[in-house]
Amino acid sequence: MVTLTILSTSDTHGFIFPTNYVKPRAHMPFGLIRAATVLAAEQQSAPGPVVTIDDGDFLAGSPLAYYVAQVQPHSDPQPLVRIYNQIHYDAEVLGNHEFDYGTDYLERALNASDRPVVNANILDDAGRPLFGQQYRIIERHGIKIAIIGLTTRAVLQWKNHDNVSADVHFHTAVSIAKELVPRLKKIVDVVIVSYHGGFERNLKAGKLIESLSNGENEAYQLLSEVKGIDALITGHQHRKIATTVFDVPVTQPGYRGEAVGKIVLHLEPSKAGGYVVTDKSAHLIETKNAEFDRNIAIYSHQLDKKVDHWLAEPLARIDGDLTFKSAQKARMKETAYTEFIQRVQMTTMNADISATSLFNNEGHGFENPITMRNIMTNYVYPDGLALELVTGKDLKAALEKAATYFTLNLNNQIIVNPAFYSPKLRHYNYDMYEGINYRINVAKPVGHRIDKLLFKGQPVTDDQIFRLVLNRYRAGGGGHYDMFRADKIIAENKTPMSQLIADYLRAHSVVKATVDDNFEVVNEPDTK
């Protein structure tokens, strides 16, 4: 018997050190510097051959990754890539956030990487893989192993279209796997699929948990329709999964390096030649107690110091208060921080109305003085802005969609709809608006919760036309906001929003904290 161990990371997002950057010198239970130690220990202690895979989203998503791409004198991914090169990976899969800074930046990153790229479903006009190869075949201890790489095809919805050229074609994971898995199964012993995507259905009941309209996640369909997969590595959703689905071991190791995925396959020689899988298991190894990897510490020390210095840069002072204590309360009643972000967006794009989100529950607004740290921990991803022409009908539909963020518990209290935090945190899909006055009444049925909507003191009508500014992800319909589309965009500013905020602050040495209380979320049952 041969025991094959398959290790994986995913969605590390450039979080090298155990910090979310909200406070300096934090030591939190995650980080690549911890995950690397776990990987090395598992590689060393494994009873047989080991395959190690990164499932994507390493190039963007942290202040450190942003600094490397956007702030240092020359945009060069090498300082970040060199850190990842300290880990022995057998394959690298592309995530959706690999495209954040454009394909040129991505290609330079891959050229600097010593990890072989496998990506089967991102093809050119001729049907050839644009990055790396569709699969990689390796042999360990006489076991022939194929690794297929797949990427969520929702990349274009998540990113600026200019970041991906027109000759880049994203095929469905299922269609490509149907083509490759049977073919490879004839010539190898083990087929590993590493898919930077997640599950669209509940893993136990098979119940649909999200819309299938954009094909963002299709791992459940993949396993239900494609036979011959021996192990499936997933990502993108930032979930912690270690289980079997349709008798296939599956892992998803969270994000920011908080866990390492581990799949163990036991193989026996086959009478027909080669090997067959006789037993399998899936595990997650938490990294929170792991020591720092020495090589990564050495390679990242100087970069970490530069990032910390940049984050500490004061940009402007505040007349008032731009902090908030509770993200949940900030989503129910406007804060000065939210109004400030809306002001920057409306000023930048000359808009009638603005929409923005609190992207997670870790940020708490801007402290005094405002620093880059404040900006980057509240606005992590490098989204630009889009100006879109929308009707009053579109606006109402968007507000009703946002209103599904709330529900009532058994005590009739307003709480967050579980669909926005399970199976994946999706707080970023709740938008708040400026330039209108509106009210969300959670007591009313879904689709009929906006019981007040005014523009300049007058009720909004369906045929009114508005200039709405919002981030590029949402402007393309991201988050299943189908009323917004790329063909409605009339202007764009591709500068990352974090930079637009910084530029605004540099031009205004003192910013005044104001709140016009233009929206509220209430629970007021109809007493008629």
Tell me the C-alpha distance between 193 and 232, whole Å: 5
Helix H or strand E segment including 348: helix 336-349
Strand bridging mode 190-196 / 169-170: unpaired
Contacts of 372 (CB under 8 A, 6+ apart): 63, 310, 311, 312, 313, 315, 502
Q: Is 6 left (phi over 0), alpha (psi -120 to 50) or beta?
A: beta
- DSSP H helical segments within 367-491, as ranges? 372-378, 392-403, 472-475
pLDDT, tens only, 357-383: 998 898 899 999 999 999 999 987 788
pLDDT at 430: 97
How big is the CA angle at 161 (ends 377 and 404), to the nearest 5 degrees?
60
pLDDT greater at residue 54 or residue 379: 54
pLDDT at 360: 87
Question: Tokens 């940009």 correspond to what residue?
Answer: 315
**Under a CB-based contact definition with an 8 Å cutoff, are residues 150 and 119 in contact?**
yes
pLDDT at 157: 62
- Give backbone dihedrals phi and psi of 95, rounded to 5 degrees, phi first: -100, 170
Tell me the DSSP string of 191-203: EEEEEE---SB-T
Beta bridge partners of 268: 276
Find the range with the poorest average confidence among 20-24, 258-262, 300-304, 467-471.
20-24
Token pair, residue 381, equals: 């991803």
pLDDT, tens only, 404-457: 999 999 999 999 999 999 888 899 999 999 999 999 999 999 999 999 999 999
Residue 164's pLDDT band (boundaries 50, 70, 90)? Answer: low
Output DSSP code: residue 293.
Answer: P
For residues 90-100, give the mean pLDDT: 95
Exposed/middle/buried for residue 526 (C-beta within 10 Å: 0-12, 13-18, 19+): exposed
pLDDT, tens only, 458-489: 999 999 999 999 999 999 998 989 999 989 99
pLDDT, tens only, 20-47: 999 888 899 999 999 999 999 999 999 9
Residue type, 167: D
What's the mean per-residue pLDDT of the chain?
94
Strand bridging mode 240-245 / 169-170: unpaired
Instruction: Examine residue 116 and say whether the peptide bond preceding it is cis (omega within 30 degrees of 0).
Output: no
Whole-model pTM: value is 0.91
Handedness of CA 102, 108, 112, 113 (dihedral sign): positive
Helix H or strand E segment including 329: helix 327-330
Tell me the DSSP string of 141-210: TTEEEEEEEEE-TTHHHHS-GGGS-TT-EE--HHHHHHHHHHHHHTT-SEEEEEEE---SB-TTT--B-S
Residue of 57, 21, 92, 93 lying closest to 255 (CA atoms)? 57
Question: Tokens 């507000």 correspond to what residue?
Answer: 399
Q: Does the structure show a pLDDT above 60 at 159? A: no
Tell me the C-alpha distance between 267 and 124, whole Å: 37
In order of start, what are the domains of the chain with their CATH numbers? 2-307 (3.60.21.10), 314-522 (3.90.780.10)
For residues 4-11, give the mean pLDDT: 98
pLDDT at 380: 76
Residue of 415, 391, 400 lying closest to 451 (CA atoms)? 400
Helix H or strand E segment including 505: helix 497-507
Strand bridging mode 465-471 / 385-391: antiparallel
Tell me the C-alpha distance between 130 and 140, whole Å: 27
